[in-house]
Structure 1
């Protein structure tokens, strides 16, 4: 009922008028005075009427004091009663932009942009809590709306934090929202506006307001067509207020990518990690330092430790220094990581503190295995091609590549199944004379599950058999149907040779910097070709492939394409002198190593996940107990650790898994969803059936782009949204408006009542006092001393002037 309850002690002032009255009622010393006799006689006749006027005057003074103190205390009046009696209902819809750019903190203070948005919400509810009429509030955060839409749920009630609830003066309605912080999700406002419009359409309100509290960055508001379309879903009478909560942007750098280079990730083999830093400022930034560290999870880390930021053993690496990043530029730096233990480890890089801390830190994981087997099958009984491939993949001596070639005869593939092929990380097939249908099925299932397959095509290849087995039944184990062997004519540019680089973004990109001249010594006698797409079978799948290397006559020499999770590399030649001298060229070894890394990548575990993606953990129930722990990331330990149990599915055999999906948590109304939407390192705690526990880290990252803090102009936004009428306010303007706003109707009524009471008090004070009409006659007493009636204070001219006579109970003699 009162905005400033601390001032309620002022109501003690109401007791002052009665105290003054009681003091003036004290008896005075009586003294005979003949001139007063006629006044006493008149007083006795009008005694009741005078006392009534004095009582009314006292009550008026008490009322003046009470109303004045009530106004100072911010009395909100009987709003609930007015609402019950038929007051106006107003629906207020507030959309809070909580994308992670709202965590921007300017150098002028320690409050973030999102804090100012919450302050805007608090000021609004305080004002409405003291206003007359019935005010209903709906609050929707942009991140929740985006998650709901992502989950396929179009219900505004699911996404809204508050849905059409009556605003009370105690502020408890928004207490939970005020305790939140900006999310780590990148999103725009369109989903929130769409769901809010859906809620608004179902509300029966006399008046409706839409408030959008955002930072109005250029990346979201440069093109307003989608936002304008969403705003048109509101009633044309809806009043739209846009509150700009951001300050002018400060310098911001962001780590936009961190990942190990695609390679054979094997313990004891150095791995190159690349980190990308982007400058979102309008000026060049120099001498940027990037801190790097490894977090090891080996046999020594067996349990989840919630008292530490991570359970793994952190080890700092030499920092990186970027000399200069131009305005809007992006620089990628590489550093090497060496870990001798198998298992999944983590890598972290971090920039110094700037305007936006959310994008200064990034993590990834590095899953390291022991040496892996690769299958090599050569159609040549002498296995010369298999020896060439095996010598590159496993050179022996002190060189450790991570691959152990397993050379098998062609008969192995005839009866092969997916289960027989899955233990191999990659398969190399060299000039096989025939392929069975069973082999085609097994190879297709193997590749789709993430396996890598490489073909070397030579003299013994039968094109019709290959096309039928490898490209039928939806299989895509070749880039397109094989045509015929084509000889390469002698000639060409001496600077390039017979082979040149093909498309960009292929497995040979690391070698592309040397140019085509690095391939100038490669000679090609002949190679297989692909059929024209127009002459291919209609049932043949349309596979998209990239040309890694091509002949100088533009025919492909090496291609790569993906099939679900796996990769297929096709070399249209066999590694023999009759076809090409490439195996003897220095470029063949890096090609094989890069191709092997590409083939391994499909079966490699993911190195990071987005915060909105499901958090999954799969394991074998024969090896691990179904009870697991998951530790959530936190910048300030202790961390939250959740115990979970997976349900055993008989149909899944011995495979089990747990999946935590943030979108499903939102739909189910889980209040702890915020803890699962943080970037950093999540940790799974597993217990094996032999009593050995282990910790598996999962790196979670934010989506890039929110780090661009450039602002859109309010005038441009207003112009772009025409004919929609909006009122654009800064957070400071909003605060000033709400500081003097409030219950205007009730406040004016209170002022009017105070004026009426003051006028009544003056009137009653005048009527309750003595006054002489015209010129006061001279009264002569028995002692001959002349006195005017007014000389003895027998008339009152002010609010308190009657205390000398009227409040004494009448004249005394």
Structure 2
């Protein structure tokens, strides 16, 4: 109701005229005087009329004091009366950019750009609450609009915080919006503008105003075609757009853009390499930055979720990584090792020092560690020489722990194999098998599609025609391409290249690529299988990648994906007459890297983005369907949710918490599901025990680039739309008095009228003697004196003057 509530104490000034009047009414000492009898008689005759004059004068003076104090306090009431007189409806559409770059604290240290956006909304609402006319308010956050569009919704009501709400005498209508925080979602304003345009078209209004409170980053506003197209959907030729710039000049910002364990055999007791990628979004070079690293263990001693702590697991700090120098816009990847001796799902976190944007300084991932896994090795050689070569690399024995336990089987095992028989194996190695029947091919196809890995070693025994017919039919893709024939490699090469070269980039041997082709110079290849030279496989659309190639350019080792699994094909035999590779030092790292790639398809995901569904599937044989879930929070206590899994298959239940679906369903409180960090599942085992399993949630990178767009360029690109830019500071100044301008003029006019009335009443209630009037004498001239008038006139006026305070 008042712009300056602190000045409300000034209403005590209203009592001053009343106090003065009461003081003047104090009784004085009585003194007998004959003339006073005449005056008192006149006063008693005019008493009612005189008191009425005094009351009107007193009320007028009280009103003057009240109006003056109301003006000083900035009274904002009276909108309903003015609205009734005006009769126009104005629709105000506010788009709040709450993408995570709005968490920028540049220029203040504490106040974020989103805080300024909320303050701008509050100032607008307060002005509308005191302004004339009927005002309707629509408020939409960019994150909610993006989720709604992603879920297929075309209705703005599902994502709008306010939809055409009438602004009443206060700003309480936006109380729920004012309690929101910046989201961890990366998005632009196009979905919000599209949905707000639909709401605007469905709302009858005489005028429309669109307010966009954003930080106007170059990555979003550098190209305005999509934004301009969305803004043109708003109806009305007199559409006015106000761009409220809530950001300050950007300060330094570094971000952790990726964190993941390197693909490997993730087994307890075996060190795992973790890579963290850091990018410098600043405009200048940064030096001597320390990246803090820690592992959070969820072993057998962590059995219950603890809402009072930031994480329930046991936190163990690791040595920090120092970034000595990182140029502006540059990116660097740092590696460190994590060793955990306990099986289960553990977590890893890294964190940068505080800077302009805090949400991208920390990142987490999970590390699922299993016990030793079995791998299947089948060799057609009766001596199983190749099988023992593979087994010796994967399980060297002694104190070296790789994590694989080779299980050597004869070819007959595969002929009758089913998916259930192959499922216990983490990877399958098939060495020079003569034939693969339909039953085995079907089982192998299902195995790979479900995340398993297969490695072929092809030698003399392979029947190419049967392989091509069985393994590449019925949508099977168990070979990279049809096999052609066995070709001999002519003797040649140099001491620097040899018979084998590295192939494509981004393959399983990338860790060895830095050593160059010279590291492969000792490998000799006498012969190998060639692939059928088809355009669809060797052209730009070929489905496989060359890991290693022969000197003549033909593939030697390939890899390709089938479903979620991987197939590695070695187009040569491990027999010494084909190649000497098994005796070369590079064979061991190749086998270990290939084994890690084969295992990776069945590995659990180490993170999810904040907008993806949060899922957990458990077996009803091992766990109860009731689960507890703790959302991430940097300041405990954390929010505890209790959920019940629904049937997802035979003996399994699943919990799927999708923020998009919950938003479409009308559940507005989805903020907890969108938090980045570590979620923790509390599971109750069927045997009476309990277990805690972490799940990492991460932001989508890119919003950390805080470079600003040019306002003039945006304005020019949006023509002919009427666009005005205003900073959040200027917006506050403009709205401070704008809402009560008309009311202030009316109060000023009322104050003038009251002052004029007070003067008139004061004059009327005061004693004023008449001018002397000459009386006609005998000579026909007027004389002077009281005898020329009514003898009671002067007495009555004098008595009234005394009663009025002698004014």
TM-score by length of 2: 0.92
Q: Does 1:127 align with 2:121?
A: no
| Cα separation, partners in 2 of 1:811 and 1:342, compared to 1, 3 Å | closer
CA-based RMSD of the aligned residues comes to 3.0
**Aligned residue in 2 for 1:343:** 344
* Kept in 2: contact 1:54–1:806 (CA 8 A): no
Q: Secondary structure at the match of 1:391?
A: helix
* Kept in 2: contact 1:40–1:811 (CA 8 A): no
How far apart are residue 8 of structure 1 and its match?
Answer: 4.9
| Cα separation, partners in 2 of 1:56 and 1:331, compared to 1, 3 Å | same
* Kept in 1: contact 2:509–2:593 (CA 8 A): yes
* Kept in 1: contact 2:536–2:542 (CA 8 A): no
Q: Does 1:546 align with 2:540?
A: no
Equivalent of residue 665 in structure 1, options 659, 662, 669: 662
* Kept in 2: contact 1:105–1:112 (CA 8 A): yes
**Aligned residue in 2 for 1:800:** none
1:55-103 residue CA offsets vs partner (Å, 9 max, x unmatched): 5434432332232233334333432345456622211111111111111
Q: Does 1:418 align with 2:419?
A: yes
1:704-732 residue CA offsets vs partner (Å, 9 max, x unmatched): 11111111122222122222221101111
**Aligned residue in 1 for 2:162:** 162
CA distance in 1, matches of 2:113, 2:798: 63
**Aligned residue in 1 for 2:612:** 613
**Aligned residue in 2 for 1:200:** 200
How far apart are residue 754 of structure 1 and its match?
Answer: 1.4
Alignment of 1:593-632 (within 5 A): 593-632=592-631
Q: How many residue pairs align between the two structures?
A: 786
* Kept in 2: contact 1:43–1:810 (CA 8 A): no
Q: Does 1:266 align with 2:267?
A: yes
Q: Does 1:677 align with 2:678?
A: no
Q: Secondary structure at the match of 1:625?
A: strand
| Cα separation, partners in 2 of 1:515 and 1:534, compared to 1, 3 Å | closer
CA distance in 1, matches of 2:227, 2:486: 57
Q: Secondary structure at the match of 1:626?
A: strand
| Cα separation, partners in 2 of 1:535 and 1:706, compared to 1, 3 Å | closer
**Aligned residue in 2 for 1:360:** 361
| Cα separation, partners in 2 of 1:734 and 1:805, compared to 1, 3 Å | farther
* Kept in 1: contact 2:290–2:323 (CA 8 A): yes
| Cα separation, partners in 2 of 1:596 and 1:24, compared to 1, 3 Å | same
**Aligned residue in 2 for 1:117:** 117
**Aligned residue in 2 for 1:151:** 151
Q: Does 1:708 align with 2:702?
A: no
Q: Secondary structure at the match of 1:425?
A: strand
CA distance in 1, matches of 2:640, 2:283: 42
CA distance in 2, matches of 1:431, 1:452: 17
Alignment of 1:430-445 (within 5 A): 430-445=431-446
Q: Does 1:754 align with 2:755?
A: no
| Cα separation, partners in 2 of 1:648 and 1:93, compared to 1, 3 Å | same
**Aligned residue in 2 for 1:378:** 379
How far apart are residue 50 of structure 1 and its match?
Answer: 6.6
1:248-277 residue CA offsets vs partner (Å, 9 max, x unmatched): 111111111111111001111111111111
Q: Does 1:724 align with 2:721?
A: yes
* Kept in 2: contact 1:24–1:808 (CA 8 A): no
How far apart are residue 763 of structure 1 and its match?
Answer: 3.0
**Aligned residue in 1 for 2:781:** none
| Cα separation, partners in 2 of 1:410 and 1:775, compared to 1, 3 Å | farther
Residue range with higher mean Cα deviation, 668-677 or 116-125: 668-677
How far apart are residue 765 of structure 1 and its match?
Answer: 2.8
* Kept in 1: contact 2:527–2:579 (CA 8 A): yes
* Kept in 1: contact 2:89–2:207 (CA 8 A): yes
CA distance in 1, matches of 2:195, 2:804: 75
CA distance in 1, matches of 2:380, 2:430: 8
* Kept in 1: contact 2:254–2:282 (CA 8 A): yes
| Cα separation, partners in 2 of 1:164 and 1:807, compared to 1, 3 Å | farther
* Kept in 2: contact 1:393–1:405 (CA 8 A): yes
Q: Secondary structure at the match of 2:425?
A: coil
* Gapped regions of structure 1 (runs ≥ 5): 778-785, 788-793, 796-802
| Cα separation, partners in 2 of 1:196 and 1:535, compared to 1, 3 Å | closer
Residue range with higher mean Cα deviation, 178-187 or 419-428: 178-187
Residue range with higher mean Cα deviation, 445-454 or 403-412: 403-412
* Kept in 1: contact 2:610–2:698 (CA 8 A): yes
Q: Secondary structure at the match of 2:623?
A: coil
* Gapped regions of structure 2 (runs ≥ 5): 775-784, 787-792
Equivalent of residue 803 in structure 2, options 793, 798, 809: 809
| Cα separation, partners in 2 of 1:27 and 1:398, compared to 1, 3 Å | closer
| Cα separation, partners in 2 of 1:32 and 1:679, compared to 1, 3 Å | same
1:29-60 residue CA offsets vs partner (Å, 9 max, x unmatched): 678698999x9999999988776655543443
* Kept in 1: contact 2:40–2:799 (CA 8 A): no
**Aligned residue in 2 for 1:798:** none
1:563-605 residue CA offsets vs partner (Å, 9 max, x unmatched): 1210111111111122222222111111111000000000001
How far apart are residue 635 of structure 1 and its match?
Answer: 0.9
**Aligned residue in 1 for 2:779:** none
**Aligned residue in 1 for 2:284:** 283
| Cα separation, partners in 2 of 1:807 and 1:396, compared to 1, 3 Å | farther
**Aligned residue in 2 for 1:763:** 760
TM-score by length of 1: 0.91
Q: Does 1:637 align with 2:628?
A: no
| Cα separation, partners in 2 of 1:22 and 1:108, compared to 1, 3 Å | closer
CA distance in 1, matches of 2:303, 2:498: 56
**Aligned residue in 2 for 1:790:** none
* Kept in 2: contact 1:254–1:359 (CA 8 A): yes
CA distance in 1, matches of 2:563, 2:209: 49
| Cα separation, partners in 2 of 1:11 and 1:288, compared to 1, 3 Å | closer
Alignment of 1:46-125 (within 5 A): 54-83=54-83, 87-106=87-106, 108-125=108-125
**Aligned residue in 2 for 1:740:** 737
Q: Secondary structure at the match of 2:219?
A: helix
How far apart are residue 26 of structure 1 and its match?
Answer: 5.5
CA distance in 1, matches of 2:728, 2:526: 74
Alignment of 1:16-35 (within 5 A): 16-25=16-25
| Cα separation, partners in 2 of 1:546 and 1:767, compared to 1, 3 Å | same
Q: Secondary structure at the match of 2:148?
A: helix
CA distance in 2, matches of 1:603, 1:811: 101
CA distance in 2, matches of 1:405, 1:532: 35
* Kept in 2: contact 1:25–1:808 (CA 8 A): no
* Kept in 1: contact 2:43–2:799 (CA 8 A): no
**Aligned residue in 1 for 2:554:** 555
**Aligned residue in 2 for 1:303:** 304
CA distance in 1, matches of 2:414, 2:551: 35
* Kept in 1: contact 2:559–2:566 (CA 8 A): yes
| Cα separation, partners in 2 of 1:36 and 1:474, compared to 1, 3 Å | same
Q: Secondary structure at the match of 1:161?
A: strand
How far apart are residue 21 of structure 1 and its match?
Answer: 4.0
| Cα separation, partners in 2 of 1:555 and 1:811, compared to 1, 3 Å | closer
| Cα separation, partners in 2 of 1:809 and 1:693, compared to 1, 3 Å | same
